[in-house]
Amino acid sequence: MRYLTGGSHFVATLAFTLWLLGCPATPDGTPDATPTPTATEAAPLGMNRAQLFQYITTGNPDSTQPVGQLPPQPFYESWPLFPGPASNPKEFLNKRLGLAIHGRWVTVYVNPIAAQHIESYLNEVNTVPVGTVPVVPPTEFPPGSVIVKVNFANDPQATVIQQASNPGVLTVAYKPERGFCQSAVQYNTVDCLGGDWLWAFYGLGKAKALDSFIAESSGTFCINCHTPAFKADYLRGLLRRARTIAFDRVPAAEPTQPPSVPATDPFCQQPIVLSAQLPTDVALDPAKITDPAQRQRLFDCFAWRTFVSLNWPASDQRGVAEASAPFGKASGNRTWESYAQTYEVFQPQDADWVPSEQIWQSPRRLPSACSSAAPDEPVISMNSKSQSSFADLVNETGQAFAGTFGTLTDRNGNLVHYQVLFNQAEFDYLLADGKAATANLTPIGPASGPESFLPDGSIEVKSAWKQLCLDTGCEQQDVESDFYARKVWIYDAAGPTCTPMTVGLIGLHINAKTFWAPQRVAATFEHKNNAPLATLIADGSPPVVPRGEFLFYDGSCPPQPDTCFKQPFLEGRPAGADPCCPNLEINRIPGKLGFDSRYNNQLIRLDKPGGSGLNQRFRLAMGEAGSPLANLILVNTQWPMNGRRPAAGKTLDSRPFNTRNCDDNELSPDGSCYTRIPRFLRNTVIESYMTTWIENGDGHPQQISNRSCTSCHASGTDFSFIFEDAVELTVELN
């Protein structure tokens, strides 16, 4: 029997809405007497969301299992684990994830037809002719495939985070029929990013009151995260496993030698001298340094020298510093600001687009609505103040780790804006062999040719900008001299319009691919006045913080430690909640969900700034040079231990560099996986909602950061989301 969509979708939506409003369930909460059938090869086609819940829990789409409740033995538990088998529970069962969306802990099941496809696909990867570059062929799950993520919440204990005993949410991916496209968003007039998958959220138990917007918009919400897998057909776990197999089959070979890097003062122990010279790598193999503090200092030194070089005044040649200019020169671009923006290289709405090398040699082309902007004035794109369906990328007010909800407002109620740029090494790679041509574009790289690997020396920069409020009538009056301030133009595709705005730099990510760090050196900087350190206000005795001292924290509104820190960011600001609770996404969509103009975000810093003692020394040198960039601090530098593999024959497999993070982030005794150091890293204004909580030693809940730059980017293409940016970011040029 084929279950139809179309008109039944309204019934399903109505039923779901009534469920959210608290329609009564079966009096005793037990499932009906419909017998549970045995597992079949494929799920019925054309089920709507209501029928899908019945199918995955009972096996019968026409059953009447109360929504939000599981029977004693849910039907999906008869399916194989993904990616299976279950012979190694540590690897496959109840994996801990960092995303609050998935409840931290996840067990994944796949129905038989999906399991069969996974097995045959991995066998195909294992039989691809071996070459010098690993090849991962495309794949597409057959109709009738179902994947169920059983999401468990945290059970906070002292200093640890363990899995709760009962699941809180089911996240389901279902392929109902060929040609189904839930997102309805196209990038080349043919394909849509959602592919043939239908996505659904189902709250269980206490989570029955799950945010209705998430439930009703689960398609775009899930697709927004899974598009790195192109049309969601790979799914993240399968793609990662396929890449591992492909790498294991590459012939062993001696790695290329690292570039010549001056070994002069690799730990920045000598007096600080600001230089426009961009370092290409750390000077030493970190795995050969026995002192962990010295290993970190090696990368912190690299991070600060990179920051100084990239923030040197730019010359007339894009991407090149004007070495003769003083570091504190007040006017003009910094070097990183002359890097390429995604829309210059990719034009996904133009089917015939093929970028030219002249892009790098010419002044930046402007969006059609921004003719009044000067070539050296940054353009930041957004789709009005409300979020688009792919808000993290299309709308540069969106934040990482926050799905379609991640906006941030300062104390004046103004949105923070973000911008991503990349250097010439990455630009040259993207133009070679037609990689950036629209006809060859997918969210995970070119449709033709081998898998994409960006060259060593590639740099991506993400900046965060605060609109400066300089009038006396502001809630918080900004002092322009405290910021690296710029006039920028906000491009709004809804008009399209282009509006000038004076902004100040409050955050900067630098992602550099090097020989010793092929998984990237991720250095993140932020303004010293963004927010107070969490330990100041989470120990049961909130201090009095002077009003106006912090840009994203109102000291006259201290949070209550025993209540505020237990709320996940997606909970937003429920009725009656403390308006001072920190790190909550409260202003999701103006005029719609969760937006309350009476309140602005309260942020606290969760990671104590590191810098190996170099912060004060570099900031002092920049301050003496007369630069407001001295007000930025290095939060920390994340780097991969054992990222570059040693010579062939000295490890368990033959990959030139590791693609797998070590289990539980432990150090690998044989160098067969890399380790993120430090494990967690959060920029207060770029990953504001990257949080979880535990009970501290005093019995009070304590927020901690729970994700990092490289842990997120590992899901991209060679640790980069540039191709997903390219597909989703549409800016029409003159």
What are the DSSP calls for 627-681, one per residue?
A: -GGGGEEEEEEEEEET-B--STTSSSS--SB--SBPGGGPPPSSSSSBEEESS--
Whether the CB-CB separation of 138 and 258 falls below 8 Å is answered with no
Q: 229: which 2 tokens?
A: 């897998």
Dihedral sign for Cα 709, 711, 715, 717, please.
positive
- Angle, in degrees to the nearest 10, between helices 615-624 and 292-310: 20
DSSP letter string over 482-542?
GS-EEEEEEEETTTTEEEEEEEEEEEEEEEE--SS-TT-EEEEEEETTS--BGGGTSSS--
Q: Which of 583, 553, 538 is nearest to 707 (CA)?
A: 583
Whole-number Å distance between alpha carbons of 477 and 629: 19
- Angle, in degrees to the nearest 10, between helices 112-125 and 236-248: 30
Tokens 């207060």 label which residue? 684
What are the residues facing 313 on neighbouring strands? 334
pTM of the model: 0.85
pLDDT at 30: 35
pLDDT at 649: 39
DSSP letter string over 137-200?
----PPTT-EEEEEEEEEEEEBTEEEEEEEEEEEEEEE--STT--SS--BSSSS-BTTTT-EEE
Q: Which of 414, 418, 530 is nearest to 475 (CA)?
A: 414
Residue 112 in domain: yes
Residue 85 in domain: yes
Residue 13 in domain: yes
DSSP letter string over 473-490?
TSSS---GGGS-EEEEEE
Q: Which of 227, 235, 146 is nearest to 192 (CA)?
A: 227
Whether the CB-CB separation of 188 and 231 falls below 8 Å is answered with no
pLDDT at 699: 65
Phi/psi at 508 (nearest 5 deg)? -150, 120
Whole-number Å distance between alpha carbons of 582 and 603: 5
Whether the CB-CB separation of 123 and 660 falls below 8 Å is answered with no
Non-local CB neighbours of 596 within 8 Å, separated by 6+ positions: 573, 586, 587
Domain housing 226:
8-248
Whole-number Å distance between alpha carbons of 178 and 31: 32
CB atoms within 10 A of CB 532: 21
The two counts, helices (H) then strands (E), for the chain are 16, 18
What are the residues facing 704 on neighbouring strands? 692
Residue 582 in domain: no
CB atoms within 10 A of CB 82: 21
Residue 175 in domain: yes
pLDDT at 35: 35
- Residue ranges of the chain whose pLDDT lies below 50: 1-39, 86-87, 89-94, 96-101, 158-159, 383-394, 590-593, 647-654
Whole-number Å distance between alpha carbons of 440 and 449: 10
- Angle, in degrees to the nearest 10, between helices 8-20 and 49-58: 70
Category of 616 on φ-ψ map: left (φ > 0), alpha (ψ -120 to 50) or beta? alpha
Residue 233 in domain: yes
What are the residues facing 147 on neighbouring strands? 110, 173
Whole-number Å distance between alpha carbons of 472 and 518: 49
Residue 526 in domain: no
Q: Could you write out the three-class secondary structure of 319-365? A: CCECCCCCCCCCCCCEHHHHCEEHHHHCCCCCCCCCCCCHHHHCCCC
Q: 95: which 2 tokens?
A: 């994996």
Three-class DSSP category at 50: helix
How many distinct structural domains can be found in the chain?
1
Residue 452 in domain: no
Cis geometry, peptide bond prior to residue 134 (ω within 30 degrees of 0)? no
Whole-number Å distance between alpha carbons of 692 and 689: 9
pLDDT at 262: 78
